């Protein structure tokens, strides 16, 4: 009879979805094919309800653990209902994702029936739920006096794992918003800052002021503010310039500029060295203006840029010839205009000799210059001291040709603003320190020709290089 199994300790395996239940049989209903367990354990954890009812269709395996407390007496107490019984330990972490709440624990997962002694098989299907909807908030874990495991150590460990301390409401939702409201962010960060400050003082580190906050592009090791006026001159010009980084570069008078170059030459920075340095920097700037790597590539030899170089018989003309030599060495087609003079400086003659070895073209008549626009015009016609050249016919003819040509103009070492400019330039390149140039000089650039700092100090200039990692930098009107 079904009443023979009341009081037995059984283990019911409901498959991987519902898990394994253990408890004492409280009732068996043959008509509805249900069995109820009181004080049940689900996967080794005490259930929050006092009783659980199972349907025969949900039971995959049923094992009798102990029948010493049953009502009747039957010799078949160890009968196994399922032919494929697999004993699952109480601590097995089975997945119960499909169980939304303990009241919907029983679901139909097959056509399996509960086998009860004395009752034939073949019962109807039925969905069932928990036998009691009441919940016990505080329930005492039943003592396992009836469990015959023969191991006191295991029993003690089970009592520790599944005792009263783990008895909680499993279906209570965690109040995230309420818990977050208890967190005072400002107070916590204030406490952290206070603890850091106290900790630093305890180590002997002075913390008199709050450390500064730095942007991602600022140097955190900077100990003092940047001084943007690092160059001061005894004879300043009428203009001031500044670099891209904000450093102030004052202009100088032509007299101070001339004296600076004379002192540099006395210390070993000869005119030849200055000419070579100026030619390299000016040619590098010109190559950039011509397109740089986008224009001067081996695959673009059929479009070689053309540069017209206008020079006079003076130092500025020698600087332009040096620039043209370097441009010709970089596969630029250079056309040098220099009139035939009876007497020229030795520096000009030497630069012409070197230029003739590069394959560049030299003309002495304006008519031999191109009729079509060139890529760039480099103007070196003007001289700082000899202003009478502007009245010469060759000078006026060259200036008219440059103004009528549609090519942009780069002036190298142009004179000061008071002398005027016959050719308006788009860019101007000054040497060492800028002169106060006129508006027609265009965008001003500064070239480093290698004057040592001690030379600046000797002429009364407090100097700190504004060039950084470059030899040619742009200047802006302050």
Work out the pLDDT band at 147, boundaries 50, 70, 90: very low
Q: Is the pLDDT of residue 129 over 50?
A: no
Work out the pLDDT band at 110, boundaries 50, 70, 90: very low
Which H or E element spans position 431?
strand 427-431
Separation CA 321–CA 318 (nearest Å) = 5
Q: Is the pLDDT of residue 106 over 60?
A: no
Identify which has the larger pLDDT, 307 or 6.
Answer: 307
For residue 82, is it left (φ>0), alpha (ψ between -120 and 50) or beta? beta
| pLDDT on residue 393 | 92
| pLDDT on residue 409 | 96
Q: Is the pLDDT of residue 326 over 90?
A: yes
| pLDDT on residue 399 | 93
Q: Is the pLDDT of residue 140 over 70?
A: no
Evaluate whether 17 touches 64 at the Cβ level (below 8 Å): no
Work out the pLDDT band at 283, boundaries 50, 70, 90: very high
| pLDDT on residue 122 | 43
Separation CA 316–CA 384 (nearest Å) = 9
Which range is most confident: 201-215, 277-291, 300-314, 373-387?
A: 277-291
Work out the pLDDT band at 478, boundaries 50, 70, 90: confident
Report the DSSP pairing between strands 306-311 and 376-380: parallel
Evaluate whether 88 touches 13 at the Cβ level (below 8 Å): yes
Domains of the chain: 2-166 (2.30.30.100), 236-477 (3.40.50.10260)
pLDDT single digits (tens) 354-371: 999 998 999 999 999 999
Q: Is the pLDDT of residue 216 over 70?
A: yes
Q: By C-alpha distance, which of 426, 430, 455, 453 is closest to 441?
A: 426
Evaluate whether 407 touches 424 at the Cβ level (below 8 Å): no
Q: By C-alpha distance, which of 233, 382, 234, 262 is closest to 317?
A: 382
Average of pLDDT values for 229-248?
Answer: 90
Average of pLDDT values for 113-129?
Answer: 43
Identify which has the larger pLDDT, 433 or 238.
Answer: 433
Count CB-CB contacts under 10 A for residue 117: 14
Work out the pLDDT band at 32, boundaries 50, 70, 90: confident
Identify which has the larger pLDDT, 164 or 397.
Answer: 397
Work out the pLDDT band at 201, boundaries 50, 70, 90: low
Report the DSSP pairing between strands 20-29 and 45-46: unpaired
> In 3-state terms, what secondary structure has residue 206?
coil
DSSP structure string for 334-374: EEEE----S---HHHHHHHHHHHTTT-EEESSGGGS-SS--
Residue 320: both structure tokens together: 């332009």
| pLDDT on residue 221 | 66
Which H or E element spans position 28?
strand 20-29
Q: Is the pLDDT of residue 101 over 80?
A: no
Q: What is the largest CA-CA distance in the chain?
A: 142
Which residue's structure tokens are 């009245």? Answer: 391
Evaluate whether 427 touches 442 at the Cβ level (below 8 Å): yes
Separation CA 131–CA 50 (nearest Å) = 9
| pLDDT on residue 161 | 65
> In 3-state terms, what secondary structure has residue 310?
strand
Side-chain half-sphere CA neighbours of 363 within 13 A: 14
Cα 255 to Cα 14, 324, 416, 473: the distances in Å are 105, 28, 11, 24
| pLDDT on residue 350 | 94
Evaluate whether 257 touches 315 at the Cβ level (below 8 Å): no
pLDDT single digits (tens) 166-178: 555 556 777 787 7
Identify which has the larger pLDDT, 177 or 265.
Answer: 265
Mean of all residue pLDDT scores within the chain: 78
Work out the pLDDT band at 162, boundaries 50, 70, 90: low
Neighbouring residues of 279: CB distance < 8 A, sequence distance ≥ 6: 319, 321, 322, 323, 325, 326
């Amino acid at each position: 009879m079904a009443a023979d199994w009341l009081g037995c300790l059984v283990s019911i395996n409901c498959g991987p979805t519902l898990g394994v239940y253990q408890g004492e049989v409280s009732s068996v209903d043959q008509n509805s094919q249900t069995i109820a367990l009181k004080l049940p354990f689900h996967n080794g954890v005490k259930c929050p309800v006092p009783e659980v009812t199972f349907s025969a269709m949900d039971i995959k395996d049923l094992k009798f653990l102990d029948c010493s407390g049953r009502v009747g007496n039957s010799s078949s107490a160890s009968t196994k209902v399922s032919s494929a019984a697999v004993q699952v330990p109480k601590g097995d972490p089975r997945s119960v994702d499909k169980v939304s709440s303990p009241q919907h624990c029983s679901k139909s997962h097959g056509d399996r029936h509960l086998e009860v002694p004395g009752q034939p098989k073949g019962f109807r299907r039925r969905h069932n739920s928990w036998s009691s909807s009441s919940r016990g908030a505080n329930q005492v874990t039943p003592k396992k006096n009836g469990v015959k495991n023969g191991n006191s150590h295991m029993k003690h460990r089970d009592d520790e794992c599944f005792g009263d301390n783990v008895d909680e409401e499993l279906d209570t939702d965690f109040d995230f918003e309420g818990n977050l409201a208890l967190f005072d962010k400002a107070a916590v960060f204030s406490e952290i800052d206070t603890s850091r400050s106290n900790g630093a003082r305890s180590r002997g580190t002075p913390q008199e002021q709050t450390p500064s906050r730095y942007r991602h592009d600022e140097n955190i090791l900077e100990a003092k503010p940047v001084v943007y006026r690092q160059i001061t001159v005894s004879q300043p010009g009428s203009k001031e310039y500044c670099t891209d980084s904000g450093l102030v570069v004052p202009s100088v008078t032509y007299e101070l500029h001339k004296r600076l170059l004379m002192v540099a030459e006395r210390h070993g920075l000869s005119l030849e060295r200055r000419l070579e340095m100026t030619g390299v920097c000016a040619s590098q700037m010109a190559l950039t203006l011509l397109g740089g790597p986008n224009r001067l590539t081996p695959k673009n030899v059929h479009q070689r840029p053309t540069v017209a170089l206008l020079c006079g018989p003076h130092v500025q003309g020698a600087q332009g010839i040096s620039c043209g030599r370097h441009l010709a060495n970089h596969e630029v087609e250079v056309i040098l205009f220099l009139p035939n003079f009876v007497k020229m400086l030795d520096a000009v003659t030497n630069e012409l000799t070197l230029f003739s070895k590069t394959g560049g073209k030299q003309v002495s008549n304006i008519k031999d210059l191109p009729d079509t626009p060139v890529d760039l015009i480099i103007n070196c016609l003007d001289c700082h001291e000899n202003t009478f050249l502007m009245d010469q016919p060759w000078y006026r003819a060259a200036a008219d040709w440059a103004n009528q040509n549609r090519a942009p103009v780069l002036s190298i070492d142009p004179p000061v603003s008071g002398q005027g400019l016959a050719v308006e330039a788009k860019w101007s390149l000054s040497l060492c320190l800028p002169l106060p140039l006129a508006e027609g000089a265009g965008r001003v650039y500064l070239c480093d020709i290698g004057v040592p700092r001690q030379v600046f100090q000797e002429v009364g200039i407090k100097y700190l290089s504004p060039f950084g990692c470059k030899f040619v930098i742009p200047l802006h009107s302050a």
